[in-house]
A and B are shown apart, each in its own frame.
Chain A
Amino acid sequence: MKPFTQASRRNERLAALTLLMVVLFSPPLLIAVDRLPGWASLTLYLFAAWGSVIGLTAWLMERSAP
């Protein structure tokens, strides 16, 4: 059993975050959002998702910064 380290946990989270971003900006979700009522919904979603990903990255990177 591999000993649990903080660095490996951070890398796992980072990989998950990368996947999350890929999912958030993938066509199936975008098509769904685009069909929502309101003409600016897609733009608002894009910026909100983008901001969340940046926020999560900042949280992850700064709390375990060397």
Chain B
Amino acid sequence: MRTDLVILGAAFSYLALLFVVAAWGDKRAEQGRTVIGSPSIYALSIAVYCTAWTFYGSVGRAAEYGPSFLLIYLGPTLAMLTAPFLLRKMVRIAARQRITSIADFISARYGKSSGLGALVALMALITITPYIALQLKAITVSHAVLINYPDSPDARLATEGFWLDKSLWVALVLAVFIILFGTRHLDASERHEGMVAAIALESLVKLVAFMSVGVFVVFGLFAGPQDLFQQVALQPGLTDTLGLNHVPGGTTGWVGMLILAFLAFITLPRQFQVLVVENVDEHHLTRASWLFPLYLLLINLFVVPIALAGLLLGDVAGDPDSFVLTLPLSAGAEGLPLFVFIGGLSAATGMVIVETIALSTMVSNQLIMPLLLRFRFLHASQPGQLAGWLLGIRRAAIVLLLLLGYLYHALMGDAYSLVTIGLVSFAGVAQFAPALLIGLYWRGASRLGAILGLLAGFGVWGYTLLLPGFAQSGWWDMALVEQGPWGIEWLKPYALFGLQEWDIYTHALLWSMLANVGLLVGVSLFNRPTPLEQTQAALFTEAMHPNLQGTTLWRGQTTQGELRDLLARYLGAAATQRVFADIAESREAADQIASHALVTRAEQALAGSLGSASARVLINSVVRGEALDLEGLLSILDTTSQTLEYNRRLEQKSAELARIGEELRSANERLRELDRLKDEFVAMVSHELRTPLTSIRAFAEILRDGDTLPEQKRQHFLGVIVHESQRLSRLIEEILDLARLESGRLTLDPKPLDLAQVAQRSVDAISRLQEKRGIALDSAIDVAPATIIGDPDRLEQVVINLLDNAGKFADADHPRVRLRLYRHKRHYRLSVEDNGKGISEGERERVFEKFHQIQEQGEAPRGRPKGSGLGLPISRGIVAHLGGRLWVEDAPNLGGACLIMELPEAPEQAH
């Protein structure tokens, strides 16, 4: 099964599959049915972050340094958490300015500086080439492990000629792939749809491959995680591996590595390519912000079990970096190791593809193109010729980059393990972070500051990481590392200024970042930026400003003809046609002034192909007058922000108005209700007054006219007249009381008194009447004396009113009323309950409204109302005057309504 033929067959078939997928993706894109327009594909393409280094090296790192391998993935998780703030801004800027790479981005931010772009491109080239070499090395080593197992892979590698090295051939196939699918368009800011589709597939393959090994090891070699962990627990040396003390540099190293991974994730050229340049829709970031971290979690889930299993098995497993291959091999599995090899291959090729595209774009747009533009003769060359050149440059760069990577791999030997090179590269690209991140948020960051910061940071990185690395590879004298240059102790690269005991990456990160950020900020504070720098700085820092979209930034003038010629010369006819899509070509049109929008569109098209710095130079050669300067831009921002502020105030005002309107409406409703109640009251009072008046008058007339009436009848009639007069005066008294209460003229005579006595008196007063009506009245006075401050007459009036009311609303057949006086905290409560129908929840407050008569549902008005509807409002008014409360509850004993009067206990000295 493990013959060279089978393995090579599988490997190259897999690469062929990538071609097919990429071709399919590109074809679909041409038909307008994109396959990469989904956030999940986007998240998978970001997973190009997981290279062969993850695939093989994570296990190696876990075996050696415990949990520190996770930091490489926690950093990106943190970065993705901030995606809606940070990455979204970058994506938006890149889309608007047609940014093609991280070098282009930084150059555009600092005034479209071609020098800065070239610097970043060069630095990326130096940092990333070893990283590409690392991927090729991984392919070679994994292939050798697969073939040679159980022998060591080294035996064979040493004797092999370079033409037999499989990674050379893989590199060449990749070069073809990248040229085919990575340089289809001149416009590098356009999406490479086929390439992204292939990368997404690769991400899936490596995830499935790695998880298959994990499952195989945990459930095949061992009987589940429990078994594995139990066996590990028996080995005291092993259990120690996972502790914090194995993290290089301890807690400082932990924090340093986390920051390093966070920064590198954003600044690695390939990550910038997939995250920013290849982003189709900035909303995809929302899903990717958790889906990608989930991917990282899954691919790391089995790292620890595999590392532990490999360490348990000892010699059989060999080098920790190869555990993923050797463990299934040692168990005699046939198909799985091959699949794992393909997984590792996909991890390596995915990285190489994207990184090479990103680097070749940088090389052509930031390094070569500015040089070409200096030669005047090019400006007069054939239309479209330069476009061909540029693609040619990119293709040559791709081949060169891969060969360079291969050479590095072939030369460097085994000086470094996988992780080491990766981390050195991480620290290198992290140097872009200050210029990038500070530039995104601080308008004052200037070009000079950025250049000096980058140079200094990069220099420190080279001294503290790259040079000692060379020394360890034997390319430099080890004395440099051990004794410092010329024997100067405090200049030792791994312990600069005597800073020892830090791990080398955190150490390098600290010093390089100090130099980098220090110079960037320090120089910017004393440096006067050019107008273009200021404009670009404002465009970048204010990128999320809502009204910046669609703003035309050109104010200069040129003719359409000149613009058309320029585009045709550099981009070719097809691209020119796209820019001039809605403008007819004619002789008159050629002399017309090009609109600002057209100039902007032309510059963007040039920027997408040649980089923003070159596009700027070219547009300047035909446009007379300047682009929008800082003042113009700031006035746009200002007017929009004023408008926004104004809108916000308007919104506030209208919300306020709406609220006031609502209040007015409800007040109006309330007034109408009161008006209706008043009408009802007047009608009722009239009625109430007329009824007794009518009978008084009738009986008085009878008495006047009927001289012959018997004495007994006369007496009866007189009795009726007296009774009705009393009722009349009581009613009038009530109305007067109410009027006094409402106007606040009610005079009370508060003094200490015993509420129990008042209650007893009231019960005595009303019991005769109640007996006559057949009402069973019982009273329970729990506390005596119950001293309160109050007006005895008024209180008696209230209690009688409550008792009288209760009697009226009690059950018609067996009416019962119960009075109770008890203590509640520092108050006395007097409750009167009946066994009537009770009062519904909604009616409870309304019974205290004036003239309110309880309308019983479904019951016809029963002739005369039971009361004037004034008793309860008056009672409540009196009780409130005395500092108490009066309310309705469900009757606890009798099941009807229960009215409770609560009055505060009199203070001590009042007794």
Contacts and interface: CB of A to CB of B under 8 A. Distances in A.
Interface in A1-20: 1-3, 11, 14, 17-18
Given A14-B81, A18-B78, A30-B251, A43 B297 contact: no
B81 A42 contact: no
Interface string A4-40: 0000000100100110011001110011001000011
A57 B290 CA distance: 6
B70 A34 contact: no
A39 B301 CA distance: 17
Q: How large is the interface on B (under 10, 10 to 19, 20 to 34, 35 or more residues)?
A: 35 or more
A50 B251 contact: no
A54 B293 contact: yes
Contacts of B229: 40
B294 A58 contact: yes
Of B78, B244, B289, B290, most A-chain CB atoms within 10 Å: B290
Given A17-B81, A58-B290, A46 B297 contact: no
B74, B81, B243 interface centre (most CB from chain A within 10 Å): B81
Contact of A11 (B85, B244, B251): B85
Contacts of A50: 70, 74, 77, 293, 297
- Interface of A, secondary structure class, is helix
Contacts of B233: 39
A3 B242 contact: no
Nearest to B73: A50
B242 A61 contact: no
Contact of A39 (B240, B251, B291): B240
Contacts of A53: 77, 81, 293
B243 A51 contact: no
Nearest to A20: B81
Given A31-B251, A47-B301, A25 B258 contact: yes
Contacts of B723: none
A15 to B, nearest CB: 8
A26 to B, nearest CB: 8
A51 B297 contact: yes
B67 interface: yes
B33 interface: no
Contacts of A51: 297
Contacts of B77: 21, 50, 53-54
A39 B239 CA distance: 6
Interface string B74-102: 10011011101100000000000000000
Given A51-B297, A57-B289, A43 B254 contact: no
A2 B244 CA distance: 46
Nearest to A56: B290
A51 B286 CA distance: 18
A11 B233 CA distance: 44
B255 interface: yes
Given A39-B233, A42-B67, A47-B301, A27 B85 contact: no
Given A18-B81, A27-B254, A46 B244 contact: no
B85 A34 contact: no
B651 interface: yes
B283 interface: yes
Nearest to A34: B244
A43 B258 contact: no
Given A14-B81, A34-B244, A54-B293, A46 B251 contact: no
15 contacts: A3-B651, A14-B84, A18-B81, A21-B77, A39-B240, A39-B243, A40-B242, A43-B304, A46-B70, A47-B301, A50-B70, A51-B297, A57-B80, A62-B287, A65-B286
CB-based closest 9 A-B pairs: A27-B251, A39-B239, A57-B290, A58-B290, A34-B244, A18-B81, A54-B293, A61-B286, A43-B242
Interface of B: 67, 70, 74, 77-78, 80-82, 84-85, 229, 232-233, 239-240, 242-244, 251, 254-255, 258, 283, 286-287, 289-291, 293-294, 297, 301, 304, 648, 651-652, 655
